[in-house]
């Protein structure tokens, strides 16, 4: 399947037969390379399975990273409480609500006043409770807000848009009320 020009060049002796064949092979390769080859069903299935596996791996990695961050936050809270806890001393029972149960810690008058002012905060620590200063409590609040049991200072910083707050402001609570 040579073109007429190639035939004429062969007859004239300007080119050799293998040179013409080489040119024909190169042209055939060029024409074959132009058309994209449609992927087979197995290749499509393999690509789909590979994409699913990659997505599964990304999901598992994200879960592991989230667990690692949560574990790190718990460890940081543990360390903050251990380092900054205030020594509790006294014989006055300071009662507070933890969920649906009433708990108490023994404090002296100065610690009780600081708890009421919001400069001290009660934090759940292990099986018991600890007192933390405001600065350390803010750091604990950033990492795990569920560990803070009683924080009168944070309640003052809240919006105060609760309709019950306006109603109960008319009733004065005595400062020396202990329940």
Do residues 148 and 129 make contact, with C-beta atoms less than 8 angstroms apart? no
Q: Which two tokens stand for residue 108?
A: 């002296």
Domain interval for residue 142 = 41-179
Q: Determine the distance from the C-alpha atom of residue 94 to the mean position of all C-alpha atoms in its chain, rounded to a whole number.
A: 37
Q: What is the pLDDT of residue 30?
A: 77
Count: domains in the chain = 1
Q: Look at residues 158, 147, 9 and name the one whose alpha carbon lies nearest to residue 80.
A: 147
Taking the C-alpha atoms of residue 50 and residue 58, their distance in angstroms, rounded to an integer, is 12
Q: What is the pLDDT of residue 62?
A: 96
Report percent pLDDT > 90 for the chain: 30
- Domain assignment of residue 128, yes or no: yes
- Domain assignment of residue 11, yes or no: no
Residue 103: strand pairing partners: 96
- Domain assignment of residue 34, yes or no: no
Residue 33: C-alpha distances to residues 2, 20, 21, 22, 28 (Å): 20, 20, 19, 17, 9
- Domain assignment of residue 1, yes or no: no
- Domain assignment of residue 12, yes or no: no
- Grade residue 161 by pLDDT with cuts at 50, 70 and 90: low
Q: What is the pLDDT of residue 155?
A: 57
- Domain assignment of residue 10, yes or no: no
Q: Look at residues 106, 84, 78, 77 and name the one whose alpha carbon lies nearest to residue 94.
A: 106
- Domain assignment of residue 88, yes or no: yes
- Domain assignment of residue 27, yes or no: no
Q: What is the pLDDT of residue 33?
A: 61
Whole-structure pTM value: 0.57
């Amino acid at each position: 399947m040579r073109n007429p020009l190639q035939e004429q060049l062969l007859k004239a002796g300007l080119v050799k037969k293998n040179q013409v064949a080489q040119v024909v092979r190169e042209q055939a390769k060029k024409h074959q390379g132009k058309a994209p080859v449609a992927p087979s069903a197995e290749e499509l299935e393999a690509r789909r399975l590979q994409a699913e596996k990659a997505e599964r791996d990304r999901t598992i990695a994200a879960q592991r990273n989230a667990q690692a961050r949560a574990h790190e936050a718990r460890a940081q809270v543990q360390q903050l409480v251990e380092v900054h806890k205030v020594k509790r001393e006294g014989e006055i029972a300071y009662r507070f609500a933890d969920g649906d149960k009433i708990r108490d810690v023994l404090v002296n008058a100065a610690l009780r006043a600081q708890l009421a002012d919001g400069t001290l905060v009660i934090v759940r620590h292990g099986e018991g409770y600890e007192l933390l200063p405001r600065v350390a409590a803010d750091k604990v609040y950033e990492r795990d807000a569920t560990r803070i049991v009683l924080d009168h200072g944070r309640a003052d910083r809240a919006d105060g848009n609760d309709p019950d707050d306006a109603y109960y402001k008319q009733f004065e609570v005595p400062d020396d009320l202990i329940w």
